């Protein structure tokens, strides 16, 4: 996927909020001895690729449309466009997926609020890690905005309420949902929710989190090493 296959892998993660780290991706990178670093945007870290070979754009409470209040959003989009043009692997999670879409001219707008575990459905002809996803998998959601599919983007999975859940555009993969979740992150993110919702999410986390973690590993391996193949059947 990248024009720099011979370089040692180095991941740079653009973090928009202290509450939204790499999560389970960080655990996998550590297990694989893949070096990674954070760009902490709320602290004023500069938006640059540096010597990174792979870029991750994490979630956050802001909108990609808040460029006037948060000018580094515009710089992130410019970096995403350059990275995709240079075939650098880019992974976007929630806000990160919306940044990829917005960087390529798609509209990001307010839509249905989703908090908790929701099913997404793999599209026929999905590629890469999604080629081995089941037809339906439950993933963790926490968002209130969505995006139009950018020109040249190909949909990988679809939701019942929010259709655009995963897409590819060149070397970029955008996921509206959160594959980075761990039990601790889920408890932290939902501690302000109503008790009945916390209890529901707690029950469903025991049921769905192991599968989510397995799919996170598949996406991580594709992100780091390519291995794109068309879904069979």
Residues 6+ apart with CB under 8 A from 161: 112, 114, 118
Angle between helices 24-31 and 195-225 (to 10 degrees): 40
Model confidence pLDDT, tens digit, residues 171-225 = 999 999 999 999 999 999 999 999 999 999 999 999 999 999 999 999 999 999 9
Classify residue 5: in a domain, yes or no.
no
Mean pLDDT, the chain, whole residue set:
94
Classify residue 56: in a domain, yes or no.
yes
Structurally, the chain folds into a number of domains equal to: 1
Classify residue 46: in a domain, yes or no.
yes
Classify residue 88: in a domain, yes or no.
yes
Model confidence pLDDT, tens digit, residues 44-63 = 999 999 999 999 999 999 99
Residues 6+ apart with CB under 8 A from 179: 24, 25, 93, 139, 140, 212, 215, 216, 219
H/E stretch holding 214 reads helix 195-225
Classify residue 233: in a domain, yes or no.
no
Q: How confident is the model at residue 231 (pLDDT cuts 50, 70, 90)?
A: very low
Provide the CATH number for the domain around residue 67.
Answer: 3.40.50.880
User: Is-above-0.85 flag for pTM?
Assistant: yes
Classify residue 70: in a domain, yes or no.
yes
Record the tokens describing residue 38, joined without a space: 């954070």
Classify residue 4: in a domain, yes or no.
no
Identify how many contiguous H helices and E strands the chain contains and give both numbers: 5, 9
What 3-state DSSP class applies to 130?
Answer: helix
Residue ranges making up the domain that contains 220: 11-225
Classify residue 87: in a domain, yes or no.
yes
């Amino acid at each position: 996927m990248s024009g720099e296959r011979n370089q040692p892998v180095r991941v740079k993660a653009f973090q928009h909020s202290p509450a939204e780290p790499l999560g389970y991706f960080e655990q996998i990178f550590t297990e694989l001895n893949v070096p990674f670093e954070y760009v902490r945007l709320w602290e004023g870290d500069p938006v640059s690729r540096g010597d990174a070979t792979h870029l991750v754009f994490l979630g956050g409470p802001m909108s990609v449309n808040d460029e006037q209040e948060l000018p580094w959003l515009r710089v992130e989009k410019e970096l995403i466009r350059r990275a995709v043009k240079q075939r650098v692997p880019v992974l976007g999670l929630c806000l990160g997926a919306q940044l990829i879409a917005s960087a390529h001219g798609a509209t990001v707008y307010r839509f249905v609020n989703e908090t908790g575990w929701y099913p997404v459905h793999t599209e026929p002809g999905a590629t890469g890690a999604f080629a081995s996803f089941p037809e339906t998998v439950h993933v963790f959601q926490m968002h209130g905005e969505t995006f139009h599919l950018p020109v040249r983007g190909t949909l990988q999975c679809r939701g019942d309420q929010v259709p655009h859940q995963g897409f590819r555009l060149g070397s970029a993969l955008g996921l509206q949902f959160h594959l980075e979740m761990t039990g601790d992150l889920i408890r932290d993110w939902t501690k302000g929710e109503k008790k009945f919702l916390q209890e529901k999410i707690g029950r469903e986390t025991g049921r769905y989190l192991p599968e989510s973690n397995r799919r996170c590993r598949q996406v991580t391996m594709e992100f780091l090493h390519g291995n794109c193949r068309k879904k069979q059947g």
